[in-house]
């Protein structure tokens, strides 16, 4: 039998190294450094910035599942505020500059989203 302790340690080190560019990217940069463009006329996102930065992908999955499986198109934020569940009409309405916001950060972090084969990116953007 292998020594389980060392195997686990090895896995932890591997995962740490493997994901380090990602953590460095998220922890090391603020948005002036990534150069993303935030909406001019809005102050708040659906949830707070830290949550959005770390969890927006999960939130979007949750939104999709709610809309499609449960036909629920209202999201109640932790603040109690209600938002319409829509990638197009909510997220991208505020974040209208897809290229300078979503895309810029994704490119910097080597993320490729497959959403846009079906969903529409606002004008003037990639693809």
Binding flag, residue 55, ligand HEC (CB under 6 A)? no
Interacting residues with ligand HEC between 15 and 54 (CB under 6 A) = 31, 34, 36, 38-39, 42-46, 49, 52-53
Q: Which of 105, 102, 91, 113 is nearest to 45 (CA)?
A: 91
Q: Which residue has the tokens 């997220």?
A: 91
Which C-beta is closer to ligand HEC: that of 12 or that of 49?
Answer: 49
For the purposes of burial, counting CB atoms within 10 Å of the CB of 91, is it exposed (0-12), middle (13-18) or buried (19 or more)? buried
Question: What span, in angstroms and rounded, lies between the C-alpha atoms of 63 and 78?
Answer: 15
Residues contributing to the site for ligand HEC (CB under 6 A): 31, 34, 36, 38-39, 42-46, 49, 52-53, 56-57, 59-60, 63-64, 67-68, 85-88, 90-91, 94-95, 101-102, 105-106, 109, 111, 113-115, 117-119
């Amino acid at each position: 039998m292998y020594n389980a302790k060392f195997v686990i340690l090895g896995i932890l080190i591997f995962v740490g190294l493997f994901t380090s560019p990602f953590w460095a990217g998220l922890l090391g940069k603020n948005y002036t450094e990534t150069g993303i463009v935030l909406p001019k006329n809005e102050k708040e996102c659906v949830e707070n910035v830290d949550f959005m930065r770390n969890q927006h992908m999960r939130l979007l999955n949750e939104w999709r599942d709610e809309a499609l499986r449960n036909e629920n198109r209202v999201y109640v934020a932790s603040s109690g505020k209600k938002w319409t569940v829509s990638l197009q009409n909510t997220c991208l309405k505020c974040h209208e500059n897809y290229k300078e916001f979503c895309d810029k950060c994704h490119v910097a972090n080597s993320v490729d989203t497959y959403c846009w084969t079906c969903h529409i990116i606002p004008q003037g953007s990639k693809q």
